[in-house]
Amino acid sequence: MSYERFFQKQYLGEDWKLVELKFQALLSVLIALLFVGVSSSYSEGLELFTNSKVYSPEHNLQIYGKGLPEENLIIRIFAPDESIAKFDQLTTDSDGSFNYDLLTWPDPSTNFPYGTYAVEVISTAQNGISEKIDIKFSSTTELLDVPVERHVNTLVFAPETAAIGQSLRVFVQTTSDGLLIGNKPSELLETTHVHLPSGISVPLSKSFETLHQGLYYVDYIPVEEGTHVFHVVAFSQGTTSHGSAATVVLSQDLGGISEQIIDLNFVLSETSRELDILKLEIEGFDNTLDEASGKIDESIGTISTSVKFISEASSQLNSLLFPIIASIGIIVALQIAILARRR
């Protein structure tokens, strides 16, 4: 019996087998973790480069880099509006390297306009990891004159006035290099909000609807009177752009005020018409008064003439009656004298 066997039986007994089994299991776990760590570290080795940063028509876009040996890679070129301008695949060499002529730039068109493009390589064997590079398609290849950077522009269109409790619509346009960009407004306009007159900010990103790629709108019902500022924040491919517009919210909209003005104009028109009728009636009354005054003047003239005639008739009557009265007086006096003598 060997010394080791004697030692196992003498000091460890039957527990030695259990210790040996545990040691082998622990060693297997360590070896597995080591292989996993090495494999994981190796799997993340994806590199991508381009032969230039700025391209002009008829120039070649060449990509090169390194991935896993004999790995299938997916290649995509994104246009300035974030649409896929070209899709391709390649297989790396035995050492994992690749060198590939991806594209000969055509003359600018609606499919390939000037602007900032993105080249992306996606690994099919490394959990979908990817690498992306921004490049510029321009009329010149001078890097000093054409910087490779993205410019995102955000325009906001909102009505100048609105009314409390009535819906208003705000439109947003997002462009890059003159092309409309964006797909999901909840991601593109994630931090968009409206500033209320009370100082509160209300988020709007979940309320946007898509009218067209790069064109969005939101319907908002104001609950406060005063100036509302719509602050739109667009985030696309690492670039942020801001835009804002203000709307003055009144107790009622201009449409209601316009209706009231129309009603007031109608009332004023009716009043003017009635005044015209009254004026005509007054003019007719004036004519009647003039006619009555003329008739009164004629009557006065007639009465004056009659009085004159009466006066003349009275004089004539007096001249006729005076001799008669005198004769009667004489007769009476003679009768009295006769009676006096008889007595």
Q: What is the pLDDT of residue 32?
A: 58
Superfamily of domain 47-137: Macroglobulin (MG2) domain (2.60.40.1930)
Any idea of the CA torsion for 261, 264, 270, 274, to the nearest 10 degrees? -130
Question: Is it the case that residue 118 has pLDDT exceeding 60?
Answer: yes
Residue 281 has which token pair? 């009636």
Per-residue pLDDT tens for 263-295?
Answer: 788 888 888 888 888 877 777 666 777 777 777
Does residue 28 carry a pLDDT above 90?
Answer: no
The three-class DSSP label of residue 276 is helix
* CA pair distance 90, 85, nearest whole angstrom: 17
- The pLDDT mean for the chain works out to 80
CA distance to 21, 28, 31, 46, 133, per residue, from 25 (Å): 6, 5, 10, 34, 46
pLDDT of residue 172: 94
User: CA nearest 232: which of 200, 205, 196?
Assistant: 205
Per-residue pLDDT at 60: 92
Poorest-pLDDT segment among 31-35, 113-117, 231-235, 307-311: 31-35
Indicate whether 23 pLDDT > 50.
Answer: yes
What dotted CATH number matches 152-252? 2.60.40.10
Q: CA 269 to CA 48: how far, in whole Å? A: 79
207-239 pLDDT, tens digit per residue, is 999 998 889 999 999 999 999 999 999 988 777
Tally Cβ neighbours within 10 Å of residue 118: 17
15 pLDDT band (50/70/90 cuts)? low
Q: What is the pLDDT of residue 238?
A: 75
Query: On the CB side of 214, how many CA atoms lie within 13 Å of its CA?
Result: 17
pLDDT of residue 99: 92
Beta strand 209-212 with 215-220 is antiparallel
Question: Are the CB atoms for 78 and 85 separated by under 8 Å?
Answer: yes
Tell me how far apart the alpha carbons of residues 186 and 189 are, in angstroms, rounded to a whole number: 6
